[in-house]
Structure 1
Amino acid sequence: MKTLIIGGGNIDYDFALAFMRENPHDFVIAADKGMEFLRRAERLPDVIVGDFDSVSPETLAWFAEKKVEIRKFQPQKDSTDMEIAVLMALENGSTQITVLGATGSRMDHMLGSIRNLSLALCAGVPCSIVDAHNRIRLFGGPLTIKKEEQYGKYVSLLAFGEPVTNLTLRGFFYPLDGYTMTCDDAIGVSNQITENEARITFDSGRLLVIESRD
């Protein structure tokens, strides 16, 4: 089951609509302010979650009138609205999760959303944060990126927590061979794919992969 989560960050309206048309999902979760975009687009999610401290009462009432399931949480909670949405997606048996509206001006929220990728990784479920310029994913093992399918021109690799050992890159402008990358390392930023496919292998650790376009 493919699940789409709409968060309350900055959303490029035209991009998001096109993305939803081109990438249909089986289940849609609105996380708090993410429902503002859906109301404008006149799209109904399957469920809305959050403490609703950043959404207008009019928008909340609009979805209530449409009989959309609403799960309200207290503002004094241990989890962010996005974390609640990701956990719900996993509990519902999602086999793939995509998140829109997780990036924007609030760096604390964005970093928190990136950290939520580890929840999906631990569950063995592919999860991507996507906006008009970036696709962000977290991996615990080897991956291949086909040049024709990459999300933009640049590929940046960052160690996520513990060191990434024996990191080897093939098919990139800047190759690596058996490198140990730590969270203090910037050597993996702004690489480019030069062959039909790029191969990334490593023995241990978790690797944040950010594909970007200007």
Structure 2
Amino acid sequence: MRDNEFSLPQGTIAFSHALPAHIYTLVTGGRPPAADWLQKASRGKIWAIDHGLDLCRAMNRTPDFLLGDGDSAAPDAWAWALARGVPCERFNVKKDLTDTQLALAKIKEASTDAFLLLTGAFGGRFDHAMSSLFSCAFSGLPMILADDKEACFFLHDGESLSFRAKQKPQAISLFALGSECRGLSIEGVEWPLENASLRPEEPYAVSNELAEGSSAFHVRLQAGTLAVYLYWQ
């Protein structure tokens, strides 16, 4: 695999830039990914973010680090992790930042050369999902949000990516985050765009699909912050 690619069970993402050398898999507290999917997709060090610890325990997968306020993971899961010597950082429930935001900040402190796979971000509470989406998009860390049903990638000024599908996504959607996206193009899909503009208040670029006979698509962006969202039935 090339140094600008990251492989998921559903397909391979190729970015326009090389990926950092250090990879972290963050397991958070939304809908848990399928255990076999996580086994295939996870890379590098595994961080359990509070309720994500329950999935790690169910898989008998000892995380490399545990972080959270302990309000959602089962108490005996914390005891299980501590008994295995997992380093942990526990926070007061009454705090300003979410557990995911605290994890992102800690990784930025630990490494300036990190790439993240964040799973468990979908399917739970909508407010948590929205918080994670924007926190990740503007964290300054390259990352993917994904599980066996959904995935989200981010592009910033002048970046591009390609996705080669092993499993054909049911939907391919694009969202401008924060401000207008300009110079947006997408190829290999049923409804391509060329040098288009996309505003947060008019999210028209939803429910696209691969063009007939195509197994890959390519997106490029001149300016803005773009979320590329994929959905599998």
| TM-score where L is the length of structure 2 | 0.82
Indicate if the aligned counterparts of 2:29 and 2:124 stay in contact, CA closer than 8 A. no
Pairing 1:78-97 to 2, within 5 Å after superposition = 78-93=96-111, 94-97=113-116
Is 1:145 matched up with 2:166? no
Shift of 1:154: 2.1
**1:90-115 deviation line (CA, Å, top 9, x unaligned):** 33325320011111230011111111
The aligned amino acid for 1:134 is: E
C-alpha RMSD of the superposition: 1.9
Shift of 1:133: 1.0
Indicate if the aligned counterparts of 2:170 and 2:231 stay in contact, CA closer than 8 A. yes
Aligned partners of 2:168, 2:88: CA distance in 1, in Å? 33
Please name the residue that 1:133 is paired with. 149
Aligned partners of 1:92, 1:98: CA distance in 2, in Å? 16
Identical counterparts, % of pairs: 24
Aligned partners of 1:86, 1:113: CA distance in 2, in Å? 10
Aligned partners of 1:56, 1:24: CA distance in 2, in Å? 23
Return the structure number with greater helix share: 1
Match of 2:194 among 177, 180, 197: 177
Please name the residue that 2:57 is paired with. 39
Q: Structure 1 pair 202/51, CA: closer, same or farther in 2 (3 Å)?
A: same
Please name the residue that 2:230 is paired with. 211
Pairing 1:1-214 to 2, within 5 Å after superposition = 1-12=22-33, 15=34, 17-93=35-111, 94-120=113-139, 122=140, 125-140=141-156, 141-148=158-165, 152-194=169-211, 195=214, 197-214=216-233
Post-superposition, which runs of at least 4 consecutive aligned residues in structure 1 deviate over 3 A? 146-151
Q: Structure 1 pair 21/59, CA: closer, same or farther in 2 (3 Å)?
A: closer
Where in structure 1 are there 5+ consecutive unaligned residues? none
Q: Structure 1 pair 130/24, CA: closer, same or farther in 2 (3 Å)?
A: closer
Q: Structure 1 pair 157/100, CA: closer, same or farther in 2 (3 Å)?
A: same
Shift of 1:8: 1.1
| TM-score where L is the length of structure 1 | 0.88
Aligned partners of 2:36, 2:81: CA distance in 1, in Å? 22
Q: Structure 1 pair 7/24, CA: closer, same or farther in 2 (3 Å)?
A: closer
